[in-house]
Structure 1
Amino acid sequence: MRAPDSIPAATSPLAAGRELSGRAVLVLVFLPFALGHFLSCLIRTVNATLAPQLVAALGLTPGQLGLLTSAFFFAFALAQLPVGIALDRWGPARVQLPMLLLAAVGTLAFAGGQTFAQLLAARAVIGLGLGGCFMSAVKAISAWIAPARLPSVQGYLIAVGGLGAASATLPVRLALHYMDWRGLFLWLAAAAALTGMLIRVLSPSPPDDARKPALLEAMRAVYRHPAFRETASLVLVPHMVFFGLQGLWIARWLSDVAGFNEEAVGYLLYLGMAAVIFGAIATGMLTEWMGRRGVRTISVAAVGVALFIGVQLGFVCNWRPSYQLLSVLFTLVGTVTGIEYTIVAQSLPAALTGRAATCLNLLIFLGAFAVQAGFGLVVGCWRPDGPGHYPAAAYQTAFGALVLLQLPGLLWFMRRRAGNPVEWASHPSRL
């Protein structure tokens, strides 16, 4: 990440009386918060790798497996409003320490859980504790990075999250040679607590924002903002689908439909999550490059959403030439959905960036919860074969339903653009 020019610092003990250099912003702001996002993505995705062990230990049905994993999303969504308010009031560093300590407690509880209900509750506590990782990072970065550079820097942040998700695949499988899944969660609990302490110690206070509006005023301002509404109508549902399916149901599809064994599934998940890193960086760089040529960021998002829906049609049609390629393309192309954070951060006043990310995350993770749990319920309508594999028709139906949910937003965007060519041509710099 190329660091920005020096920016006047606030009254942090680390930065008082001097400016933060570009290197200091990288070390004190980007890396600590990116580490929290890395850990959040790792824990969010790890159940995909552990699914066989969890199913064997608890005898879970597809619906229960989906509910157990998606409890993270539901609790994550519940945390968004209070976390967003806290971020705007106290700043990301002061918020992250208690949140990550809570995540550590939930991770410890998951490691010691003996029943489905105990694991479900522990997974929800983990989601609550990790609910501020990405928002805190976005808030911190937005305070120190020039708006013109936000697409690429946030692309790097999403890439770090992709690295975390990739670490939940093959590296976790290797770790399971030396410990069981309970031991793994003990290590994750320690990592969560240490990351929170690191952020609190290193992170400087951000520059003071303008007056921070009251909660209801801020929520109304965010939801009524044209850029937020336009972005949400196009990208929100695809983002829900990407978060809800990556890892867990892609892994089950590779096992049930494509017929790969656990080792092959783990390897393909690793490739898919690694593709997130490339996709996020490429999306950020492409968005900046297109922006310098007068192309709106929302137009880049529209092309990406269309490609993402096209990949999902491959699952619906049970595209046989390369199941491996299809699974990797899902995560590679799906990273474009993260562009909505950039659009909102560039468009809204600085005092609203925390709550804007809150609004997005609230909707995204509630939707991801519904997608992940609902997908399992649809698949569970079919009977498995002897080894416990569900038929291709079950997955085709579930993917088909999701495609139908995403098409209206893309079609509305295309219709609006076709119906207002003067507006789009007259304001190339608009988001």
Structure 2
Amino acid sequence: MSMETDQSQSRLNGVAVFFYVFLPFALGHYLSSLLRNVNAVLAPHLVGALALTPGQLGLLTSAFFFAFALVQLPVGIALDRYGPRKVQVVLLMLAAIGALLFATGRSFGQLVLARAIIGCGLGGCFMSAVKAISTWIAPTRLPSVQGYLIAVGGLGAASSTMPVRVLLQHTDWRGLFMLLSALTACSGLLIWLVTPRSQAPGGALPTVRSVLDVYRAPAFRATISLVLVPHAIFFGIQGLWIGRWLADVARFPDAAVAYLLYMGMASVIFGAIAVGMITEWAGRRGIEALDVAAVGVFLFILVQVVIVLNWRPSLQLLSVLFTLVGTITGIEYAIVAQSLPRTLTGRAATCLNLLIFIGAFLVQAGFGLIVGLWRPDAAGHFPALAYRVAFGVLVALQMPGLLGYVHDFLRRRQVKCGIALLTQKEEYEIGSLRSPR
């Protein structure tokens, strides 16, 4: 890193980092979460405007996730090679173009292409923010700051519900996407204007083969073995099936389901901040972030076990707890960023995103296949047993990772105890040799 860059970094205090680094990149992440979830609210408008079938609506919405996952590895390589400032500006401008094309699209094919372009453009929002933040702050601050970043994403997801409904009273969905396109372009411009330039690592261009360096890292493997499956389940279920579960099992009306989903989105904000603060607090006391994650994963599985038991008096509470406790899974980004060299943090974040979004797709589709094994009633509601079996399968999928962590934790404790006993024995023998006879 050049002397000029080192000096500029040393001149940035906490307030400057907040305004010049965190806020610009957090705005991009906010818009990414909003655009990712907005189709849930716009679905009736899109179906009415284009006469979409349910299959077409599903394909239109999932085009975002497919494109998002597709660009993860190239974006990670670019982040490590060119730095988050340059990469994020280009991607946000691409997303702004996609939103503009969506606003002006007249056919199903045009909207699918536009939605995919939006997914490509927003595919680096979170990783760019993680890369930028990890460049300018101490590693010990990463869990709390990334918790704030995830909270901003929760705010974006919450904004895609009731606030969008209010905005649609003054414009149509095309006008909404015009506005979102302008905001996305302004977000990229803000990053270009105010974020300080940092020296990119330079050197040889990282290749896809170099991504194997991330997977070979023991910290990365230990993290994904514990948190990856719960994270994929959190994304896959919270984004679709919690709402269907509330409608089919609890038989709540649409207005109540919408309110509970909004409460769940809002709980992400508080949960993410709490996870960051707890992790940082634990770190100051010598407790590793992976140990904090293990406690959170246990609680997350426990919530699902209660869902399997069909505890009917508090189904609405369980729906919010699922989202609130599930925010612990976002801690894996901080663990990996702390554990790996900075030259790999971009690729590490994108590798995580690739695995998480593929996993979320599989969870979302697989859960639907299991529920679909039962027939709905006359009102179109699937039985509670279908959901209990599906959630039971999810619990079974998460148990190997948790049990593997417990095994490794006990083994590490045994090793530490053995080292302590050997040390005490050596000290005793040395003291015996030194003592007069």
Task: Determine if the TM-score, normalized by the shorter chain, exceeds 0.5.
Answer: yes
Q: Provide the secondary structure at the position in 1 that maps to 2:251.
A: coil
Does residue 260 of the first structure (1) align with residue 244 of the second (2)?
no
- Find out whether 1:128 has 2:120 as its counterpart: yes
Structure 1 residue 244, shift from structure 2 partner: 1.7
Task: Choose which of 263, 278, 294 in structure 1 pairs with 2:270.
Answer: 278
Which residues in structure 2 correspond to 1:233-244 (within 5 Å)? 233-244=225-236
Question: How far did residue 56 of structure 1 move?
Answer: 6.2
Segment drifting more, 42-51 vs 405-414: 42-51
The answer on whether the counterparts of 1:10 and 1:207 sit within 8 Å (CA) in structure 2 is no
Point out the more displaced range, 105-114 or 328-337. Answer: 105-114
Q: Distance in 2 between matches of 1:103 and 1:241?
A: 27
Aligned ranges 1:106-255 → 2 under 5 Å: 106-113=98-105, 117-207=109-199, 209=201, 214-216=206-208, 218-255=210-247
Are residues 1:369 and 2:371 paired?
no
Letter aligned with residue 122 of structure 2: L
Q: How does 1:398-417 map to 2 (within 5 A)?
A: 398-417=390-409
In structure 2, how many angstroms separate the alpha carbons of the residues matched to 1:53 and 1:391?
A: 29
Alpha-carbon distance in 1 for matches of 2:279, 2:9: 36
Q: CA deviation at 1:326?
A: 1.0
Aligned residue in 2 for 1:4: none
Q: CA deviation at 1:88?
A: 1.3
Q: Residue 387 of structure 1: CA displacement?
A: 4.7
* Cα pair distance change 1:406/1:113, threshold 3 Å: farther
Q: Any idea what the Cα deviations from partners look like across 1:210-249, whole Å, max 9, x if unmatched? A: 8667325631221111100000100011111111222322
Matched, 1:316 2:315: no
CA distance in 2, matches of 1:65, 1:376: 16
- Structure 1 residue 128 displacement after superposition: 1.0
Q: Which residue of 1 aligns with 2:349?
A: 357
Aligned partners of 1:54, 1:257: CA distance in 2, in Å?
Answer: 28
Can you list the C-alpha shifts for 1:122-174, whole angstroms capped at 9, x where unaligned? Answer: 33222111000000000000000101111111111111111111111221222
CA contact (8 A) 2:89 2:189 kept: yes
Determine whether 1:334 maps to 2:312.
no
Q: Decide whether the 8 Å contact of 1:169 with 1:267 is kept in 2.
A: no
Kindly tell me: are residues 172 and 154 of structure 1, through their superposed partners in 2, closer, same or farther at Cα, counting changes over 3 Å? same
Select which of 26, 30, 52 maps to 1:34: 26
Segment of structure 1 superposing worse, 354-363 or 210-219: 210-219
Q: In structure 1, what residue type is equivalent to 2:242?
A: I
Task: State the secondary structure of the residue aligned to 1:246.
Answer: helix
Equivalent residue, structure 1, for 2:291: 299
1:82 is matched with which residue?
A: 74
- Aligned residue number for residue 344 of structure 1: 336
Q: Please state how far the C-alpha of 1:90 moved relative to its aligned partner.
A: 1.4
Which amino acid is the alignment partner of residue 265 of structure 2? M
Letter of the structure 2 residue corresponding to residue 347 of structure 1: S
What percentage of aligned pairs have identical amino acids?
A: 65
Q: Counterpart of 2:182 in structure 1: which amino acid? A: A
How far apart, in 2, do the equivalents of 1:310 and 1:276 lie? 18
Give CA deviations for 1:369-426 in whole Å, capped at 9, x if unaligned: 2223333344444444455444333433332332222221111111222334234669
Give yes or no for contact 1:96–1:136 (8 Å, CA) kept in 2: yes
Unaligned runs of 5+ in 2: 420-437
| Counterpart-to-counterpart distance in 2, 1:333 and 1:60 | 35
Letter of the aligned partner of 2:99 in structure 1?
T
User: Are 2:72 and 2:123, in contact at CA under 8 Å, matched by a contact in 1?
Assistant: yes
* Range 232-241 or range 104-113, more displaced: 104-113
Name the structure 2 match of 1:5: none
Contact 1:212–1:352 at 8 Å: present in 2 too? no
In structure 2, relative to structure 1, the CA distance for the partners of 1:120 and 1:19 (3 Å cut) is same
Q: Deviation per CA, 1:41-91, whole angstroms, max 9, x where unpaired?
A: 111122333445556664544x66555433322211111111111111111
For 2:416 and 2:335, how far apart are their aligned partners in 1? 16
Structure-2 change in CA distance of 1:412 and 1:11 (3 Å): closer
Offset at residue 190 of structure 1 (A)? 2.0
Q: Report whether the alignment pairs 1:70 with 2:62.
A: yes
Structure index of larger Rg: 2
Match of 1:334, SS state, is helix
Give the count of matched residue pairs. 417
Aligned to 2:383: 391
Give the stretch that moved more between structures: 266-275 or 169-178. Answer: 169-178
Distance 1:301 1:212 in 2: 35
Aligned to 1:3: none
Secondary structure, in 3 states, of the residue corresponding to 2:312?
Answer: coil
2:71 aligned counterpart, secondary structure: helix
How many angstroms apart in 2 are the aligned matches of 1:71 and 1:372? 14
Once the two structures are superposed, residues 13-67 of structure 1 have per-residue CA deviations (whole angstroms, 9 ceiling, x without a partner) of xx86982232221111000000001111111122333445556664544x66555
- Distance in 2 between residues matched to 1:41 and 1:426, nearest whole Å: 48
